[in-house]
Every structure is written in C-alpha cells, then in structure tokens.
Chains A and B, each alone.
Chain A
Amino acid sequence: MKKNEIRIFAGIFLFALLLWIALTLCGRFRTISSVKITVGGTELGTYSLAEDQVISIGEGNICEIRDGEARMISADCPDQLCVKQPAVDENGGSIVCLPHQVVIEASSGSSQAPQVDAISS
C-alpha cells in the first residue's frame, strides 16, 4: 500500500517534470523571431533577431540587426525610402526597397505578440 502510494506520487512528479520540460522546449522554439530577406522574390536567407549582425544584401543594401530590431542602414539607390522605413521586430512588419526589389520581413515567433493580418500604411 505504502509502496503503491510512493509509486503514484513519483509517477505524478515524473509526469509533471516531463510536461514542464516539453512545454519549456516548445516555448523556446516559438519565441525565436527572425527576418526573412528576399531579393526579387528569391529568398536570400533567414536571420535570427536574437543575434546582432550586419547583412549585405546584393550589392546595394545593408541590413543591420541590433537589439532585436532589423533596419536597412544603407542603400545605394537614389530612392532612400527603405532607409527611412521604421525598423521591424518580433511584432512583425516589413521593410521594402523598391529599386532593388528587396523585402525584409519579420516573422513573429512569440505567440503573445499583438497579431494583425496586415498593416495599412
């Protein structure tokens, strides 16, 4: 009887522990946010927002990821609109350079982010 009780408690404990580990792992996978960079519709790569880095895009554009935000820091085209565009972060959004057909698109990893389907601008 006593042995059985111990086994039941140990089982419950083990179950809780495994559940906690599984949920933690899931949570970690979910909150990694990244930006996808495409040039003329072709994917250049996906870059983690958690890692500070500078990415050269083709010959003309340079994207910087710092403190969880990605922005276009330089562009060699006359049209400097992309450099003026606000940064994108884990909450989503995109930066577009029309002349070079570059799109930096943030994909939200966190499920807590205020999700909208599109942004009118």
Chain B
Amino acid sequence: MNTYRTSVFAELSIILLPVLLLFTGCGRSPSRHPDPISDTGFYLDTVVTITLYGVADDSLIQDCFSLMADYEALLSRTRPGSDVWKINHSQGEPVQVSPDTADLIRRSLYYSGLSDGAFDVTIAPVTDLWDFTGEGQPSLPDPAQLSEALAHVDYRNILLEDTSVTLSDPQSAIDLGGIAKGYIADRLKEFLLTNGRESGLIGGIIDLGGNILTVGSKPDGSSWRIGVRRPFAQTAAELAATVTCSDLSLVTSGTYERYFELDGTLYHHILDPQTGYPADTDLSSVSILASSSMDCDALSTSCFLLGLDQGMALIETLADTEALFITENGELYRSSGFPQE
C-alpha cells in the first residue's frame, strides 16, 4: 500500500513538473537575453526613440538626449542665438560657428555639388512660403513672392572658411533640416560606441523621426530587420520592403508625411530649389542604405529631387551606398546592391 502511494505521488510529480515549468516561462520571451531599454524624447522638431540592448538602465539614453539638446541649441532655425539663427541674421557679415555646424555646412555644400544643386540648404526662404500644416484652407504661395524668394536660393551664396560662415547674399537663409538629423544620429552612434561598452551595451537602434541607424548587433548576434514604410499605407506596419543589416542606416524621404491636396493635386514638402514647387518626379519615396546616416539623409532628399533615372545613376556611382525608389504607382526600383528581401 505504501509503495503504491509513493508511485502515485511520483507519477503526479512527473506530470506536474513540466506544467509548472511551463507556467513560469509563460508570457516571457524565449530568449535568455534581457529586454531592451527604450526611451523617447522630442528634439529639433522630431521624435527621437533610442532602444539599447545589454544596458541595465536608461542613463546612456539620457546622455544621448542631452547631446540632442546641445545640437538643437546649435542648429535650430527658430531659436535665437543658435548658430543657424546667427547665420540667417548676419546681414552678410561673417559669423563664427561651432566646429560641428561648420562641418555640417561643409558636408551640405558637398552634397549640393554632388547632386548638381538638387540638394540645397539655402531653400529656407522658399520653405517659409509653404504651409503644409493643414491648418485652415490649404493654399499655394503667391507666385511673385515665390520667385522673389527663389532668387536668394543658391548654395554658392554660402562662403565657408574654417568655422567662419558668410552669406554673400544677405537675404539668403539656411535650413539644415535635410541633413542635420543624419549628422546627429552618426554623432550619437559614435558616443554610444565610445561610452557604451562599460555599461554592457551590445547594440541598439537610433530612430530620429523615422531615420534609422543601427548600432552593433542584437544580443543573439543576429542582424537587425528594418522595414520601409509603404507610402500612403492604411496602417503603420504596412511595409514596402524589409532590409536585414548590421551597422547601417536606412533613411527615407517620402511625400506621404507632410502634404496637402488642392484641386486634385498633391503638394508635398520636398521642394525643388530650381522651381520652388514640390518636386514633380512621379516618386512617392526614396530610401537610402549606407553606413553613415548623414549620407543617407542628404542622398534620400537629393535622389528624390533628381528623380528615378538620375537618382539611380548617382547611387550607382557611389560605393557602399544603395537605394530603393518607390514610384507613385507603387513600383519598387532597387539599386544593384540593395538587398532583395
């Protein structure tokens, strides 16, 4: 009798043990790696989300956010006293700027040359005439004002000597919005790689308003999977393509985020420095894949403005730089080295 009882008990234990084990693991990720730490902040008129694996707390992320605040103080167009504000209010006098601002302007001028003027940070006076905010009745800028503003758009009006910036046309103005996010993402990544190791950082993702820059790899050593938003999708997770990569940036310029419709025409925010109007290129978005997020940022705008044929030709001349063009019809065009799913 006694032996019988013991065996029933043993049997029950054998049955119940795996079940109990199952319950303890319930709802958790099967991975033995801890969950990532993620935080979101708002800087330079964009939302910044940083996700890090391997760290115990969000102190590294907070350090990144304070770096963002520093860059915002330098590069904001609207904040009095910022480097960009000083340049735009210099009345043609030379302005001393920080090495970061000078570096950023130098790179901007490089991309202006590379894209034959398609990329131009002096587009600011034209941008100011357009209202994509959707407040009230959408309207087009006054054509006379637009052509007056257009007369001051020329990247060759920027004279850069070390950290001294002069606008040869005092009515020119710069807006580094088309390249600053990429530049800052690269600086944040540098900061994380330099300072993250002692905190146990394995890898992470810097998301600057949809500009994605990956750092390191996932805890299990696998690559990151980054999606490209399908233009005008009904839900946010509808993707046109996915890219598996490590230590690369993916940046998309698209018409679908800031636009208005008037008399059946869609007016989007990517303005052509030649015409002052939204670039008419039959494209909905251009995504660039490269190691530097700044390159991606400047090239996505450049290629959008150049259009599919010229943009693709430019990409094919650049090493380790790939592009995905999506047309208004939803057709996908990949450069020769852009990963096929």
B22 touching A26, Cβ below 8 Å: yes
A117–B250 alpha-carbon span in the complex (Å):
12
Minimum Cβ distance to chain A for residue B11 (Å)? 5
Cβ-neighbour of B227 out of A25, A95, A96, A118 (below 8 A): A118
Total number of residue pairs linking A and B with CB closer than 8 Å: 134
Find chain B residues with CB under 8 A from A118 CB: 51, 205, 207, 212, 214, 224, 226-227
Cβ-neighbour of A18 out of B15, B207, B225 (below 8 A): B15
**What mask results when residues 60 to 88 of chain B are scored 1 for a CB within 8 Å of chain A, else 0?**
00000000000000000000000000000
Cβ-neighbour of A41 out of B41, B134, B239, B254 (below 8 A): B41
B226 touching A69, Cβ below 8 Å: no
Interface flag for B151 (CB, 8 Å): no
Cβ-neighbour of B210 out of A113, A114, A115, A120 (below 8 A): A120
A19 touching B237, Cβ below 8 Å: no
A91 touching B235, Cβ below 8 Å: yes
Cβ-neighbour of B239 out of A38, A80, A94, A116 (below 8 A): A116
Minimum Cβ distance to chain A for residue B132 (Å)? 9
Interface flag for B251 (CB, 8 Å): yes
Interface flag for B172 (CB, 8 Å): no
Interface flag for A66 (CB, 8 Å): no
Find chain A residues with CB under 8 A from B51 CB: 117-118
Cβ-neighbour of A30 out of B27, B39, B254 (below 8 A): B27
Minimum Cβ distance to chain B for residue A87 (Å)? 5
Minimum Cβ distance to chain B for residue A120 (Å)? 4
CB-contacts of B215-271 with A (<8 A): 218, 224-229, 233-239, 242, 250-252, 254, 257-258
Question: Which stretch, B42-50, B117-125, B175-183, touches the partner chain A?
Answer: B42-50
Find chain A residues with CB under 8 A from B258 CB: 81
A116 touching B134, Cβ below 8 Å: no
How many A residues touch the partner, as a band? 35 or more
A86 touching B22, Cβ below 8 Å: no
Closest to A83 in B: B134
Most chain B Cβ neighbours within 10 Å, of A19, A92, A118: A118
Closest to B225 in A: A116
B236 touching A41, Cβ below 8 Å: no
Find chain A residues with CB under 8 A from B225 CB: 115-117
Interface flag for B112 (CB, 8 Å): no
Minimum Cβ distance to chain A for residue B24 (Å)? 11
A18–B18 alpha-carbon span in the complex (Å):
10
Closest to B296 in A: A120
A117 touching B205, Cβ below 8 Å: yes
Find chain A residues with CB under 8 A from B237 CB: 88-89, 91-93, 106, 113-114, 119
Most chain A Cβ neighbours within 10 Å, of B218, B226, B235, B287: B235
Interface flag for A53 (CB, 8 Å): no
**What mask results when residues 10 to 36 of chain A are scored 1 for a CB within 8 Å of chain B, else 0?**
010011001100110110011000000
Chain A interface (Cβ < 8 Å from any Cβ of B): 7, 11, 14-15, 18-19, 22-23, 25-26, 29-30, 38, 40-41, 69, 78-81, 83-89, 91-96, 98, 101, 103, 106, 113-121
Please list the 4 inter-chain residue pairs (A to B) with the smallest Cβ-Cβ separation, ordered nearest first: A93-B236, A91-B237, A80-B134, A121-B229
